[in-house]
């Protein structure tokens, strides 16, 4: 699935999770899935624990995170 198609799975609605980017209008914020992945869970484990999610949803969360990480310059906020 192309990045564009994956990103179409990410929805934003003021009525769902306070406007946070979520998966397909479900109440699974993108940052939640990224936290699970960064905490060591595999996509297979996430899908087993949350059966209403699909493999492309997990890939969409990663694609969304990658898109947000694209910056031209990083400045330190630590003093």
Give domain 3-66's CATH number out of 2.40.160.60, 1.10.10.10, 1.10.3720.10, 3.30.56.10. 1.10.10.10
d(CA 57, CA 51) in angstroms, rounded, equals 11
Q: Which residues of 32-68 are buried (b: 16+ CB within 10 A; e: fewer)?
A: bbbebbeeebebeebbeebeebeeebbbbbebbbeee
Q: What is the pLDDT of residues 27-63, one digit of tens each?
A: 999 999 999 999 999 999 999 999 999 999 999 999 9
pLDDT > 70 fraction of the chain, expressed in percent and rounded? 97
Nearest by Cα to 29 from 19, 40, 20, 41? 20
């Amino acid at each position: 699935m192309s990045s564009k198609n994956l990103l179409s799975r990410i929805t934003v609605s003021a009525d769902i999770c306070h406007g946070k980017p979520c998966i397909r209008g479900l109440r699974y914020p993108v940052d939640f899935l990224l936290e699970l992945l960064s905490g060591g869970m595999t996509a297979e484990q996430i899908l087993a624990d949350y059966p209403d999610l699909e493999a492309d949803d997990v890939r969409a969360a990663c694609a969304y995170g990658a898109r947000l990480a694209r910056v031209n310059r990083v400045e330190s906020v630590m003093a």
